Chains A and B, each alone.
Chain A
Amino acid sequence: MTHLDLSKPTAEATPAGTPLLDVDDLHVEFRTRSGTVHAVNGVSYSLAAGETLAILGESGSGKSVSAQAIMGILESPPAVVTGGGIWFEGRNMLEMSAEDQRQIRGPGISMIFQDALSSLNPVYSVGFQIGEMFRAHQGMSKKDARKRAIEMMDRVRIPAAARRVDDYPHQFSGGMRQRVMIAMAIALDPRILIADEPTTALDVTVQAQVMDLLKDLQSETGMGLILITHDLGVVNEVADNVAVMYAGEIVERGTVDDVFTRPSHPYTDGLMRSVPQVEAKGGRLQPIVGQPPNLAHIPSGCPFHPRCSRRRLGAEAPPGRECSTDVPPLRLVVPGREAACHYSEEVLGVPAQ
């Protein structure tokens, strides 16, 4: 990938179609006393303005760690980014000074988290915490920052914002707290918003409200949205593109329509079959056997092979495509679709190239 031709692009100068964010072959490890945990193993994706990319995966798939690496909020030690690049508007964030990174966090890239209660400081009012964005990044006075905080609370549709600006996080319901966090995240009009399981802790009716709000904010500002989730339904309703992660790798990537209609990786396929749907009673669920792998001991070859029903081992595999020894690269299977499986054509039911 060539990023070098993008000399000093600014927000306005980024040409349409050029990705806002380019994550290239990212590797993250956690070095602990009981061994090295390979949390992210060569993840690449890019995000354009106005695009919603869903990163779909189960717990321990590395989806949150890759996002934390982008934000530069990994705790180090134990976390070490061991390779790859994170290019934001043409500049590699991994090679920037801490101060330059700080300038990007907020106006450039911003993030919201799953658990709003533990992400907000219980001893400061929500208005103070939202206003902190303006005070820290724009040197605004306390009074002005408070005024802006009320505007932001209005914008995320918190009722009676002017009255509630001095309330504390515990005085808000779960959905309203999530709105407060969104208000903080979008305060500086970020180019990219990373939402890490933003609705997992919320009830469905509140989830629908929050997802609606995120979509509306995105269409107002044209920001890129990275949605990290394990919920297939949320991905289907909100995202344009999806990257499916397993054991720290992207195993399938494409548009949501394509991937959800005809998955081409056995893991994606298994996931679709194992989840009951509200729109159909359906027959018996077809679970994926076994457990997700321990990231300290990732299986050799294809990390999914011990759970895969299509695996080919030993002599039954064609040369170079033995699932327990040959690592399948993320490759183009059909136009617009990449998958990391030796037998994706079989899963899709198309002839191999």
Chain B
Amino acid sequence: MSQPSEHGATAASSLPTSVPAPVPGQHEHSSLTKLTSGVAATGARGEMGEALLEVRGLQKHFPLTQGIVFKRTVGHVRAVDGVDLTLRRGETVGLVGESGCGKSTVSKLIVALEKPTAGSIFFKGRDVARMGGRALKDYRREVQIIFQDPYASLNPRMTVGDIVAEGWAVHADVAPRKGRLKRTQELLDRVGLNPDYVNRYPHQFSGGQRQRIGIARALALQPEVIVCDEPVSALDVSVQAQVVNLLEDLQDELGLSYLFIAHDLSVVRHISDRVAVMYLGSIVEEGTADEVYSSPSHPYTQALLSSVPLHEPALRGQKDRILLQGDVPSPADPPSGCRFRTRCWKAQDVCATDPPQLVDRGQGHPSACHFAEARTVVPVDVE
């Protein structure tokens, strides 16, 4: 992503817009919501709304080529290989996994920066792949993204005011031309920055402040969904909490829905209502944050959780230690059947032949393991 500050701008169309700008908090209810599947999840923040974003069987394969002049495709990196996700209004879904598992590719697919190889993304019941022109432009306004690296995702030659206001150049109907400066200052104030800083440049800000600029830019277009791709992992620990709290406040205030992508299991647990665990391109376990953290049932989730160092001296040595052997296999040549079987202590013959479906096998939430079994790995909650 060479010019991340242009996100949302690629669908530029110069159609005159007469649709009134949606007001934050007041969301239009789409009559096209045909695909509201599953039971409404109840998370930490109470009842969740209808499904906004539904991802079904999403795949992204990147070709591997050989040769300089005549490029031959010699294989594919199966970065994302069959991902299902549902994001409901007002909820935070945490997508967690290790580097290379495909979680960032999922975020790029969702904000339409990449085209899926197969599978669909439905936004309010409409297939994003079939959207064109106006509809796609609207989609790109409603689904915004915050990037990981606050140093690389802000254009160093643009002032903060210009960065935040850039989206309005394309989505002019969101903010009337006259009040834009005032609106920019309101946004800066809302994310905890001094409104007088509109004319400063990104290099004059610290990492935490830059991430706030990125958040203000995402909010400028009054989105309903924000994809947060590792939004706090580049920040110092004492600053991380400030940004996490800001994201939570904004959600409560504006009714935003977050897809929160991170490798830090502690942050994901803190912020998420529901959690999906990814391994080598597919989701291996999904459930409410409590279900996944207190009774993980996929061996990979168990191993992942058991690797996280605990902060309480009293709990040291009390967790179940599961030390995984070896490394993650290459996504260009994933194992047959279950992706995790090469490192799994439960693997049997069936694992090499039948890819396990992500279904509830009696453990209370979906798990993609033939031998799923809830097991408490991390000591019970100390509130």
> Could you tell me which A residues sit within 8 Å of B by CB distance?
58-59, 159, 173-176, 203-209, 211-212, 230-234, 236-238, 256-257, 260-261, 270-272, 274-282, 284-289, 291-292
Contact = CB atoms under 8 A, between A and B. Distances in A.
Interface stretch (B133-141, B196-204, B219-227, B259-267): B259-267
A236 B310 CA distance: 7
Contacts of B271: 276
Given A236-B316, A278-B310, A279-B311, A271 B383 contact: no
Contact of A204 (B208, B290, B308, B313): B308
A294 B63 CA distance: 46
B193 interface: no
A67 to B, nearest CB: 18
Contact of B327 (A173, A275, A280): A173
B324 A287 contact: no
Contact of B238 (A212, A271, A277, A280): A271
B341 to A, nearest CB: 16
* Of B240, B248, B308, most A-chain CB atoms within 10 Å: B308
A283 B265 CA distance: 16
Interface string B229-241: 0000000111111
Given A285-B244, A287-B239, 17 more contacts: A59-B236, A203-B98, A203-B263, A204-B307, A205-B303, A206-B98, A208-B307, A236-B311, A238-B309, A257-B313, A271-B237, A276-B270, A279-B379, A280-B383, A281-B44, A281-B289, A282-B270
Contacts of A281: 44, 269-270, 289-290, 293, 381, 383
B218 interface: no
Contacts of A256: 313
Given A205-B303, A281-B381, A260 B311 contact: yes
Nearest to A212: B323
B245 A207 contact: no
Nearest to A234: B309
Given A204-B263, A279-B382, A286-B241, A292 B323 contact: no
Chain B residues touching A, range: 35 or more
A279 B309 contact: no
Contacts of B383: 280-282
B329 to A, nearest CB: 11
B313 A205 contact: no
21 contacts: A59-B236, A173-B327, A204-B98, A208-B324, A209-B323, A232-B311, A236-B312, A237-B310, A260-B312, A261-B314, A271-B237, A274-B237, A274-B238, A276-B270, A278-B265, A281-B293, A281-B381, A284-B245, A287-B238, A291-B208, A292-B238
A273 to B, nearest CB: 8
Nearest to B246: A287
A276 B44 CA distance: 15
B324 A278 contact: no
A286 B244 CA distance: 10
B248 A208 contact: no
Given A260-B312, A277-B310, A282-B270, A176 B236 contact: no
Contact of B241 (A203, A230, A275, A280): A275
Contacts of B316: 236-237
A279 B312 contact: yes
B305 interface: yes
B309 A237 contact: yes
Contacts of A208: 306-307, 309, 323-324
A22 B300 CA distance: 43
Main secondary structure of the interface of B (DSSP, over half): helix
Interface in B236-286: 236-242, 244-245, 248, 263, 265-267, 269-271
Contacts of B64: none
A204 B236 contact: no
Given A205-B98, A282-B383, A58 B237 contact: yes
Nearest to A283: B383
B237 A285 contact: no
A236 B238 CA distance: 18
B139 to A, nearest CB: 32
B236 A233 contact: no
B241 A205 contact: no
B334 to A, nearest CB: 16
A288 B244 contact: no
Contacts of A211: 309
A276 B269 contact: yes
B128 interface: no
* Of A238, A272, A278, most B-chain CB atoms within 10 Å: A278
A292 B270 contact: no
A207 B307 contact: yes
Given A257-B313, A276-B269, A291 B290 contact: no
A275 B311 contact: yes
B42 interface: no
A280 B378 CA distance: 9
B216 interface: no
B307 A233 contact: no
Nearest to A175: B327
* Of B307, B315, B379, most A-chain CB atoms within 10 Å: B307
A99 B9 CA distance: 60
